[in-house]
Structure 1
Amino acid sequence: MSPRLSASPLGLAIALALSPFVASAQDATNLDTVIVTGTRASDRTVLESTSPVDVLTAEDIRKAGVINGELGSALQSLLPSFNFPRQSNSGGADHVRAAQLRGLSPDQVLVLVNGKRRHHSALVSTGSKIGRGTTPVDFNAIPVSAIKRIEVLRDGAGALYGSDAVAGVINVILDNTPEGGAIEASFGAHHTDLKPIGRTLTDGQTGNFSANVGTALSDDGGFLRVGVEYKNREATNRAGFDQIPPWDQTDANLALQGQRNYVLGDGASKDLNAWLNTEIPFGETSTFYAFGTYNQRDSEGANYFRYPDGEANWKEIYPNGYRPISEGENRDVQAVAGARGQWGEWTYDASLDFGQNDFTYRMRNTLNASLGPTSPTRFKTADYQYAQSVANLDLGRVFEQSETITHTLGLGAEARHERYETRPGDPDSYAAGPFTDRPTGSQAGGGLTPQDAADLARDVASVYASVSSQIGDHFSSDIAARYEHHDDFGGELTGKLGLRYEFTPAFALRGSVSNNYRAPSLAQIGYESTSTGYNAAGQLVQGRLLSVNNPIARGLGATDLKPEKSLNTSLGFTSRIGDNFDVSLDLFQIDIDDRIALSEAITGDALTDFVQQQYGISGLESASFFVNAADTRTRGAELVANWRHALGDGQLQLTGTWAYAKTELKNVLPTPAALQALDPAYVLFGVEESNTLTDATPRTRAQFSASWSNDRWSLTSRVSRHGSATRVFNFGGGFEPTQTYQAEWQLDAEAEYRITPQWSVAIGGQNLTDNYPDLSNEDIYYYGNLPYDVLSPIGSNGAYFYGRVRYTF
């Protein structure tokens, strides 16, 4: 590259777009930012931490989350250890997407907002592959425009923060700028060549609008900051041409052959977000603070097509068949208030934290076939609610043992109350009508019945202590212990030890060991549902997900769930050479005993006959329930390297990251004798659910980024490599089709120009090469309808192009 080209904004845009350098897991300019996650010390930076911590700036997140304005998508772009797959035809997962850290389950990562525990979703993800059987935190309910920075602790931290912090902690820190504001609008769409149908499509049109403003409330630091966001996303569809399954090949059904009867892609959605963050000093040393977020989302999901000639259809209603559409009404709120300050030599922080998620599930363009040709075509199928209240008190004090030895002591107590409730759907959504030869319940999402309804509560109390020490210029440590008591599972003591030794300013070793404890969620204990839908082989079945306390589940071998217990160990090094280069490498191992997962779907005549004879319930063709499936071991490594240098009249930064995580099963739960007595071929935890925990998530991801900026231009490019993922189905009779989807590359780039100090415009694209995952093979692509799987993080939407305008004041 010539000197003239390297100093030219246009030349840099071209060079960066083609550069082999890609997305940053942390902005290197933030290496000197004092972190607040993972330690009680008040002066540690990223490279001085005893455990790996990434810091993402508001600018990083704002640009990376441009598709749909999603925080989860931004984190996947920026963090190689973070996986946020796009779901389709996956039930509730079409509406609330689950995220993973270090390849573990979505409920094994703890999310904080301003250091306070975030609640999770009320909706159990049962139709998905990734996150199956969990109630994940809804990252997309957190407004992107509210964020000042995000700190990601990639290490176990149960002793510091309590249960769920097995894979790590994601701490979202809200914007506390006392003055000024911003207004931003963006619009984009997918424009892609869809090879399975030989067409060029433009869809997924997405508009985002956000505005936020701050004002000082006093001369001594008080402020109020508020913001709103509105997002509208149109649907995408990557389905292929329908070849019609062989068991459905009647004349009326074959008349639809060659059409796109299915949908594979993102459903349409509309989001309204609002947030606030405020602080008001009082007294001489104290501050009152409050913050909150609100999200209202209306979303749609895809389901399998029902053919004209089929037991799930009445031609009087749908002469040409129908495809049910799920509708989600998601309402999410978090509100926190507290005070912090000084009591003599002690600091204190006392707070009350309330979070609640309400989800109403509906179906339209469907029917309850058992009600006959007068069946309704719209139903409310269920209401879900999860609420969490937390009272917290933290105390801290710094002790100077000598001029070179300082200890920071932290003490605290926490009380948490959780409640989980599900309510039945419309009676017609689960009714067994007079047409007994037809399936009961609304198609693609049968309503929760009164016997399915759950109402559970739990109280959790904990006390904890920690000491962060700096001994001389070279050695630092973090020690923490917590006793946590669940009123339904008793108490457990957890601890953590983290050490760091700096041999020279250019090289330091760090390592940690900790144990963690995670009780089964209330949903995993009490959630039940009844459904009529298609199994993995595409055949219509009536099934139930049973709680472990259900008599039918007990008869099939279910037992009380046990808490998960884990042990985390890590060892790594950090190096910083001058102001230009830094690198960190961390190796880790996470052993989890009694990992909770859903059982395999138990199907067949033996099940149907057993339930009919023993419990008087007819027509049950599939059953599953939660189990402590296996012990697992996850081993991995994470590398982050940054290089920065002045170039032309701006600053160039190059970042490379690489992450690897492999999970293996140990001590798999054997099939109970009661289940094998029904049919020796039954397996309680087999190939499909084992695949969910081990190979369905890519083991490796790598990113390289380049960015250059000056007073006018901000140019970025990112190249990502998403590793391979494997899908396994069990269609019965020993037929277990398997496919490994190979690694894929993705190129993103953006150019932003500041017209004035207040106004800026940007254009950019994600997946600029319009890359797709491998096509699914004939055993998996469901007769041409679903050519792509949802496992690959690159998704199946193709290229996305956008423009953005921003005004700051």
Structure 2
Amino acid sequence: MNTKILVTCCFLSVSAFSQSIRGRVTDEANSSALPGVTILVVGKQTGTTTDASGNFSLQLASGRYTLRFSSLGYDTIEKLVTVAANDNAPLDVALKSAQTNLTEVMVVGSRNINRSVTDSPAPIDVIDVRQVTAKTGQLDVNQLLQFVAPSFNSNRQTGSDGADHVDPASLRGLGPDQTLVLINGKRQHQSALVTLFGTRGRGNTGTDLNTIPAAAIERIEILRDGAAAQYGSDAIAGVINIVLKATTNQLVANVNYGAYQAKYRFDNQKFDGGNLNVNANYGWRIGKNGFLNLTGDYNQREHTNRANTPGIDSTLQRRQYGDSRIKNSSVYANSQIPVSTNTTIYAFGGINFRKGDAYAWTRTADSPRNIPSIYPDGFDPIITSTITDGTFAAGVRTTLGNWNVDLGNIFGSNRFDYGVKNTLNTSMGATSPREFKAGGFQLQQNVTGLHFTRFFKNTLQGLNVAFGSEFRYENYQIFAGEEASYKAYDISKAAGAQGFPGFQPSNVLNKSRTNLGIYIDTEADLTKAFMIGAAARYENYSDFGSTLNGKLSSRLKISPSFMLRGTLSTGFRAPSLAQKYFNSTITNFVGGQPVQVQIAQNGSAITQALGIPDLKQETSVNASLGFTSELGNGFSLTVDGYYVRIKDRVVLTGQFSDELPEISDALKQLNVSQVQFFTNAISTRTRGIDVVLAHRTQLGQGRLNTSLGVNFNSLDTISVNTNEKLKPYKDLYFDLREYYFVRASAPPSKMNLTLDYSVNKWAFLLRFVRFGEVKLANWNYDPTDLDIYRPKVTTDLSISYRFTPQIGLSIGGSNIFNVYPDMHRADLTESGGAWDPVQMGSNGTYWFGKLNFRF
């Protein structure tokens, strides 16, 4: 009798504590089955995947659970379920496709919370970072966007001082400082670095996207349209909004490693540039709707070396030419805490520490800048960096009446400290140290904003009104290096640290400015098919005055599957504090010979002697016209043409020599032979077209997503803005090399074809990227002897497999056919290697493996 009771109790216990929950997962768009979907029980180390028919089952004890459904190529969702005895009702779930382009809820470009990407009047790309990073070799944000978004361009520099440590990036071939970057919709600070060398961003101060770890990002929204009237300065080319993760109760960790297969290395080493990345992300739920999401990220990238390439005279090349070594550590957080039904406190931000070693130009054994007793074989200086970047934002969102109110503040700081090692100060002779602290610079920004938004549902077919104000404070500093890093102890010999002369006390400065902006932004749906929008923004700067800009936009739905859209706006960009005040002495190599060059501050005695006026804001006229279409059978197409005319662009001029009588004495007193400076030198016109074609379909038991992104871009210089004193030097003021540097900000065409196939636990990605032809002028200033980089195609391939719902592996390669740009004379290129730094890179094939953990 007791045995029967025991067996009965065990049977009842199993029934109560081990129930079966089953269901089916389908594609929301066409109700087709989704195989290989991961189903995790939040907070427990258990889960399953769907079979070939999309079916799944789980054994769970009675109770309430949160199930998380996720699949590569689809939005992750959570379902709250109750497991009870004798309850066999199936759980059917439909997932929404998550493309790497126009499919997410949109934040940037409109303050209407009812507006989505597909009915926006301006073109917007939305990139699901989790989907992209899971399958591709790129680890940092700049390189990730470079190979995903056709209108985005970035490249790594070498022999370019600070630009070896901070990658310049741009939209639509415009300057890095003509793209505004936001984090969670708040203005992010720029880098303290002003780019002086290389093929991209010369004379610009951009935002360092790589300070934000990709592991902390949910998605990146790219508004490909002028938006200065909506968001203020820097938004001439567009806006990049980085949205941080807000997930909870899930630990995601990744271990990534890859290296380059070197086709060109003088020492026959097959692999270099090893790149290790380790990151983890976890979120805690706070109350019902609050959260705290935290990310830690560490990345270590080693040098590549592509010097002494075949067919190039080794005596004319640098001995070290390639990527810098970087150690990058970041901690980022995103949080939101409801304090009442209508009020929420938010905070986000993080800190990034970066240390870098970058190759400088070779000093040969017989160079007058070498001391043979210290370096009998010559030496290769290393420029080091210590970069500290921090962002902190906090605020409150609430409602007043029917108005949504956001009061917030964001503070950002970027500090760049230079060092030089494996070097010497020639003027100190054999007693010279081999390492120096060379000084640096810092930029800080604080923005306080008050924003009001209201949607009038019953006015017309919907009217959205937004207005507000922002107050911004900026501070820029330059600090000197140690004395031996810049001083000439023997005036007959070269002064300062070879590779990077330190900042001198005469360079030191501490400059600030303030800005007040007021805006209004409206959107009205006149009918369900026809929308118009208008925005205006007034800004006043303490250092150069006021500006007023406006924007008109419209969208017309011709049919449920076809929509016309267009915008017209004026814009502006205030010259950065670095462009206004930066001053230093640098060393250029012309035909392999060193030349001391002074970067003169705007308003200095030298620029005044040449009649250079004070810097003023750049102004622009932007226009775009395009359409979006659903072509049926899973096809979608967007086509957008654009026109951007910019007046008074700030650029770095050509080099004026000490032979000019107006500045001869001043330059000789500085012991430099040439001078450059920042000025509103040119006006430009950019025309282009963006095309995005996407297709999704069921293929066998899996899912195939295909996308084609194309950008055609043409930039022309309309005029060179000189005064009477400079007219005889017009070709020097904006010389041949500077002209081609501006044009090379983007190739004239860039195409991206991606095929993404998922089936069961497998995922395959094949991607082709074609970079159009780029032309650059040489140090010989010969228009008939340009460096021409013909169009090239790189091919990426990756294979992913999920062993369990918690563990997955991806392996693959970028540029698997080891394609390189065309080679050129190393003694005439900007960088002193066989290639200038162009968008496709010159490192060759990158092989990688990624291990993912998800609990």
TM value normalised by structure 2 = 0.86
**Bigger mean CA deviation after superposition, 205-214 or 534-543:** 534-543
Cα deviation digits, residues 10-38 of structure 1 (max 9, x gap)? xxxxxxxxxxxxx99x9537745321110
Q: Does 1:47 find its partner at 2:118? A: yes
- For residues 713 and 492 of structure 1, what CA distance do their matches in structure 2 show? 55
Q: Structure 1 residue 729: deviation in Å?
A: 2.4
Q: Displacement, 1:541?
A: 1.4
Match of 2:720 in 1: 668
In the alignment, the residues of structure 2 paired with residue 8 and residue 503 of structure 1 have an alpha-carbon distance, to the nearest angstrom, of 37
Cα distance per residue 1:526-547 (max 9 Å; x no partner): 000012x233322111221001
Look up the match of 2:370. Answer: 313
Quote the residue 2:84 is aligned against.
none
Instruction: Note if 1:770 corresponds to 2:839.
Output: no
Aligned to 1:278: 335
Say which is worse superposed, 477-486 or 352-361, in terms of deviation.
Answer: 477-486
Is the Cα contact below 8 Å between 1:555 and 1:674 reproduced in 2? Answer: no
What does residue 597 of structure 2 align with?
Answer: 543
Is 1:795 the counterpart of 2:850 in the alignment? no
Partner of 1:438: 493
Which of 73, 95, 104 is the matching residue for 2:165?
Answer: 95
Deviation track 1:540-562 (CA, whole Å, cap 9, x = no partner) reads 11221001111022213322112
The one of 260, 270, 277 equivalent to 1:201 is: 270
Larger Rg: 2
CA displacement at 1:722 relative to structure 2: 0.6
Structure 1 residue 365, shift from structure 2 partner: 0.9
- The partner residue of 1:214 within 283, 288, 291 is 283
Aligned AA (1:737):
D
Report the alpha carbon displacement of residue 276 of structure 1 after superposing the two structures with TM. 0.5
Q: CA deviation at 1:154?
A: 0.2
Seen in structure 2, the aligned counterparts of structure 1 residues 681 and 497 have a Cα distance that, compared at 3 Å, is: closer
For structure 1, which runs of at least 5 residues remain unmatched after alignment? 1-6, 10-22, 246-256
Distance 1:426 1:191, change over 3 A: same
Identify which of 233, 242, 247 aligns with 1:163: 233
| Change in CA separation of 1:790 and 1:222 when aligned onto 2, cut-off 3 Å | same
After the TM superposition, which parts of structure 1 deviate over 4 Å for at least 4 consecutive aligned residues?
29-32, 196-200, 241-245, 257-261, 609-612
State whether residues 751 and 769 of structure 2, in contact with CA within 8 Å, keep that contact through their aligned partners in structure 1.
yes
Change (3 A) 1:713 1:557: same
User: Does the CA contact (< 8 Å) of 2:161 and 2:358 recur in 1?
Assistant: yes
Which residue of structure 1 lines up, in the alignment, with residue 20 of structure 2? Answer: none
Amino acid at match of 1:771: V
Q: Distance in 2 between matches of 1:682 and 1:653?
A: 50
* Whole-Å separation in 1 of the counterparts to 2:523 and 2:785: 52
**Distance across 2 between alignment mates of 1:174 and 1:323:** 41
Distance 1:722 1:339, change over 3 A: same
SS at match of 1:405: coil
Contact 1:716 1:751 in 2 (8 A): yes
Structure 1 residue 363 corresponds to structure 2 residue 420: yes
Q: 1:550 to 1:507 in 2, by over 3 A?
A: same
1:325, distance to aligned residue in structure 2 (A)? 0.5
Letter in 1 for 2:481: G
- Preserved CA contact (<8 Å) 2:437 2:481: yes
Give secondary structure in 1 for the equivalent of 2:746.
coil
Question: How far has the Cα of 1:723 moved from its partner?
Answer: 0.7
Residues 191/30 of structure 1: CA separation in 2 closer, same or farther (3 Å cut): closer
Contact 2:316 2:826 in 1 (8 A): no
**Matching residue's letter, 1:280:** I
Contact between 2:195 and 2:201, CA under 8 Å: does it hold in 1?
yes
Deviation at 1:401, TM superposition (A): 3.7
Partner of 1:159: helix, strand, or coil? helix
* Aligned pairs for 1:409-428 within 5 A: 409-428=465-484
Once residues 534 and 613 of structure 1 are traced to their aligned partners in structure 2, the CA distance between those partners, rounded to angstroms, is 21
C-alpha distance in structure 1 between counterparts of 2:538 and 2:654, whole Å: 35
Q: Deviations over 1:724-783 (max 9, x none)?
A: 111102436x6873121001101111111111111111111100111000111477369x
1:669: Cα distance to partner? 2.3
Q: 2:690 maps to which residue?
A: 638
Equivalents in 2 of 1:115, 1:299: separation in Å? 30
Q: 1:224 to 1:444 in 2, by over 3 A?
A: same
- Which secondary structure does the structure 2 equivalent of 1:553 belong to? helix
Quick one: which amino acid aligns to residue 154 of structure 2? F
Indicate if the aligned counterparts of 2:192 and 2:414 stay in contact, CA closer than 8 A: yes
C-alpha change, 1:308 and 1:423, in structure 2 (3 Å) is same
Q: d(CA) in 2 for partners of 1:648 and 1:510?
A: 37
CA distance in 2, matches of 1:378, 1:611: 34
- Greater relative contact order: 1 or 2 (C-alpha under 8 angstroms, separation 6 or more)? 1
For residues 135-164 of structure 1, the C-alpha deviation after alignment (integer angstroms, 9 at most, x for no partner) is 210011111000111110000001111110
* Alignment match, 1:151: 221
The residue type paired with residue 765 of structure 2 is T
Q: Does 1:514 align with 2:563?
A: no
- Structure 1 pair 520–763 and aligned structure 2 pair: CA distance change class (3 A): same
- Report the AA paired with residue 594 of structure 1: D
1:166-213 CA-partner distances (Å, limit 9, x unpaired) = 00000000001122120110111111322x859462001111100111
What letter corresponds to residue 557 of structure 2 in structure 1? E
> Counterparts of 2:424 and 2:749 in 1: how far apart (Å)?
43
Question: Alpha-carbon deviation of 1:507?
Answer: 1.2
Structure 2 gap ranges (5+): 1-33, 37-72, 75-96
Aligned-pair CA distance for 1:58 = 2.3
Q: What amino acid sits opposite 2:463 in the alignment?
A: H
> In the TM superposition, what whole-angstrom CA distance separates every residue of 1:96-155 from its partner, at most 9, and x where no partner exists?
110010000000000000000010111111122211111210011111000111110000
Q: Partners of 1:376 and 1:174 in 2: how far apart?
A: 45
Partner residue in 2 for 1:726:
775
Deviations 1:642-692 (A, max 9, x none): 01111122211111111011110112123752685xxx7972111111111
* Contact 1:65-1:71 at 8 Å conserved across structures: no
Structure 2 counterpart SS, 1:182: strand
Is 1:588 the counterpart of 2:657? The answer is no
- Give the Cα separation in 1 of the matches to 2:283 and 2:525: 37
- Write the distance in 1 (CA, Å) between the matches of 2:316 and 2:175: 37
Match of 2:300 in 1: 232
CA contact (8 A) 1:143 1:293 kept: no
432, 437, 444: which is aligned to 1:380?
437
Does the residue aligned with 1:591 lie in a helix, a strand or coil? strand
1:36 to 100, 107, 119: 107
In the TM superposition, residue 85 of structure 1 has moved relative to its aligned partner by 1.0
One-letter amino acid of the counterpart of residue 425, structure 1 = G
CA contact (8 A) 2:159 2:832 kept: no
> Is residue 241–residue 259 contact of structure 1 (8 Å, CA) maintained in 2?
no
CA distance in 1, matches of 2:450, 2:599: 39
The separation in 1 between residues aligned to 2:667 and 2:363, in whole angstroms, is 31
Matched, 1:688 2:759: no
Query: Residue 606 of structure 1 aligns to a residue in which SS?
Result: coil
TM-score normalised by L of structure 1: 0.91
Change (3 A) 1:151 1:315: same
Is 1:753 equivalent to 2:805 in the alignment?
A: no
For each residue in 1:281-336, what CA deviation from the matched residue of structure 2 results, as whole angstroms up to 9, or x when unmatched?
01221110100121101111111111111210111211111111000101111000
Distance 1:735 1:692, change over 3 A: closer
Q: Deviations over 1:208-248 (max 9, x none)?
A: 10011111111x20111101011111110011169999xxx
2:852, 2:569 → 1: CA distance?
A: 44
Q: What's the % identity of the aligned pairs?
A: 35
